[in-house]
A and B are shown apart, each in its own frame.
Chain A
Amino acid sequence: MTFFENRLAVVGVALFLLLAGVCFLGPLFYQTDQVHTDLASVYLAPGTAGHPLGTDGVGYDQLGRLMLGGQTSIIVGLAAGVLATIVGTVWGAVAGFAGGWADVAMMRVVDAMMSIPSLFLFMLMATIVTPSVPMLILIIGAFAWLGPARLVRGEALTLRSREYVQAMRSMGGTSGRAVRKHIIPNAIGTVIVNATFQVADAILYVAYLSFLGLGVPPPAANWGGMLSDGLADTFSGHWWLLYPPGIAIILIVLAFNFIGDGLRDVFEVRLRRR
């Protein structure tokens, strides 16, 4: 089955393109002031002239803010997902291929970090560093690589035992060369599929961090932060501050999951995840 025969995958790609298009291209057509607050027009209801989705507690236009927040969420998600995948792939491949004590040591580190619940780790990290976009990417990337590391190591172990790698060695090839030439390319399917899920998870992590009060400070915004701010605001009937960012997060995470599912079928990799 090719990727585009998978209907959910197509839906996923379309969703992603749509959301990314609105967030990144939207501001070109729908220009709002997301820098200056306007305390004279706070909590305007949707439909107020010039504010189709209303305004928030300091007078920012909510629709424009959604676009801005979406940019952050998508960028952080993609970057953190890719970073985690790269680190995890290298770690796992080295461990799997090196084997022996190096493998044991490297994988115990992974086990140990995995046994601390990720939100606990994130909270510790976030109290150390000041949240900003690059920092969020680093924090999430620094802890989300554990899953890919395990997967790739498993892949590497299987591949290592395969004949051609052994053959290469017997023909005098070096270990490093074997990793580069064979193990990584063979594991690439696993890695790509996993990366897609990593992106989805990273976007969720940003939302959780924001919920815990550790999101990016204003005037920057992200969907997770807007959603958790919305929790406080909706109380007074300001539903437009709550549901739009919530739905946006769900849609983007769904999109990446659909894409990941489609890719999995294409690469025919079996992941232990889900």
Chain B
Amino acid sequence: MLRYLLTRLGQALVIVLLVTMITFVILHLLPGGAARATLGKEATLAQLAAFDHEMGYDKPWAQQYAMYLWRLVQGDLGYSFQLNQSVTEAIGQRLPKTMVLSLLSTVLAVVVAVPLGVIQAVRRNRWPDYAITGLSLLAYATPIFFMGLMMIILFAQVWPVLPPEAPQGFTLAEVLADPAGLVLPTVTLAIVTIAVYSRYVRSSMVDNLNENYVRTARGKGLREGRVVILHTLRNGLFPVITLLGMYLPALFSGALVVESLFNYPGMGQLFWQAALKRDFPILFGVTLIVSMATVLGALVADLLYATVDPRVRLRAARS
């Protein structure tokens, strides 16, 4: 187990390093550079040069990258000129909001998707299965911003029970003090997730229903319902843990859109504004934090999975 843990940790580190490299390369392909974008068309050449010098953009790529990594190791993500704020501070203001949104919608998705998937597996190829399949495909096929809009129209206009906007509070406490405002964004983000999860649970359950030990259990005369609950559910749900980890990037992508739609000042909005204004330090910082969260999520999921299911450890050790 320890060896497995160390291997996975090592892999995670390599991945994060690669992410910094990829982001770095992409950002340096940007034509025009950050100085002009930040200082505007009135800036003099001397001012542009001074900006590039202050931000280190006048150095060779390799050196910039090395400097970035060195500061990163010291926990310094840099300074956003455009916000006049350190990147750590800017992210610190917004990360908790994105986390609240992601967490709430994940919990909601799991709570809804697991029973749906189980029903589908048990009633496989009968009408409940078809109905749920159809609905989840429909949910999956709807662009999330269109879905959000429909939610707003339905629940804030036609039947006005919820605010059409996420909480606008500046602090986490203010956000949480307005739970009604969180409903629509959370549900919007959760719906697509539910579609993905339920289909996954279904196929995992179907596989397990076919496995030998279930047949054996049936052979012993246990009632079908108990078989399902006792054996299949346990084994069928292990992979969902992995899915939670794997699905994180898609969740953040969804959050980016949902934040824009519902005016929720989270990481997605921060990233978007930065992309429009070429705020490199913010782009770096957000990409890094988000992908670290993803890698970490996947790691935790894998470790959990390995803990509950020894077969995984064996397989991992072999490959």
- Binding stretch for chain A, among B70-78, B159-167, B248-256: B248-256
Distance of B228 from chain A, by nearest CB (Å): 20
Contacts of A8 in B (CB 8 A): 133-134
Say whether B272 contacts A117, CB under 8 Å: no
B275 on the A face (CB < 8 A): yes
B175 on the A face (CB < 8 A): no
Known: A119-B257, A124-B27, A208-B257. A112 touches B18 (CB 8 A): yes
Distance of B81 from chain A, by nearest CB (Å): 17
- Binding stretch for chain A, among B51-59, B136-144, B229-237: B136-144
B23 on the A face (CB < 8 A): yes
Distance of B255 from chain A, by nearest CB (Å): 8
A 228-274 contacts with B by CB, 8 A: 228, 231, 242, 246, 249-251, 253-254, 257-258, 261, 270, 272, 274
- Number of A-B residue pairs having CB atoms within 8 Å of each other in the complex: 134
B40 on the A face (CB < 8 A): no
Known: A125-B26, A127-B30. A117 touches B137 (CB 8 A): no
Say whether A274 contacts B257, CB under 8 Å: no
A 80-106 contacts with B by CB, 8 A: none
Say whether A270 contacts B250, CB under 8 Å: no
B283 on the A face (CB < 8 A): yes
A249–B134 Cα distance when bound, in Å, is 16
A73–B192 Cα distance when bound, in Å, is 21
A109 on the B face (CB < 8 A): yes
SS of A interface (majority)? helix
Known: A112-B19, A115-B298, A119-B257. A127 touches B275 (CB 8 A): yes
- Name B201's closest neighbour in chain A (CB-CB): A274
B294 on the A face (CB < 8 A): yes
Contacts of A14 in B (CB 8 A): none
Partner of B256, one of A120, A231, A253: A120
Say whether B15 contacts A112, CB under 8 Å: yes
Say whether A120 contacts B287, CB under 8 Å: yes
A18 on the B face (CB < 8 A): no
- Name A114's closest neighbour in chain B (CB-CB): B249
A8–B275 Cα distance when bound, in Å, is 41
Q: How many residues of chain B have a CB within 8 Å of chain A?
A: 53
A204 on the B face (CB < 8 A): yes
- Name A223's closest neighbour in chain B (CB-CB): B143
Distance of B133 from chain A, by nearest CB (Å): 8
A198–B19 Cα distance when bound, in Å, is 24
A76 on the B face (CB < 8 A): no
A39–B145 Cα distance when bound, in Å, is 29
Distance of A141 from chain B, by nearest CB (Å): 16
Contacts of B286 in A (CB 8 A): 120
B11 on the A face (CB < 8 A): yes
A127–B140 Cα distance when bound, in Å, is 27
Partner of B145, one of A108, A112, A115, A231: A231
Say whether A111 contacts B31, CB under 8 Å: no
A227 on the B face (CB < 8 A): yes
Residues of A within 8 A of B (CB): 8, 108-109, 111-121, 123-125, 127-128, 157, 200, 204, 207-208, 211-212, 224, 227-228, 231, 242, 246, 249-251, 253-254, 257-258, 261, 270, 272, 274
Known: A120-B256, A124-B23, A270-B207. 14 other contacts (CB 8 A): A108-B11, A108-B18, A119-B256, A124-B26, A125-B26, A127-B30, A127-B278, A208-B145, A211-B260, A227-B146, A246-B143, A250-B138, A250-B146, A274-B199
Residues of B within 8 A of A (CB): 11, 14-16, 18-19, 22-23, 26-27, 29-31, 133-134, 137-138, 140-146, 149, 195-196, 199-200, 203, 207, 249-253, 256-257, 260, 271-272, 275-276, 278, 283, 286-287, 290-291, 294-295, 298, 319
- Shortest 3 CB-CB contacts between residues of A and residues of B: A112-B18, A274-B199, A253-B141
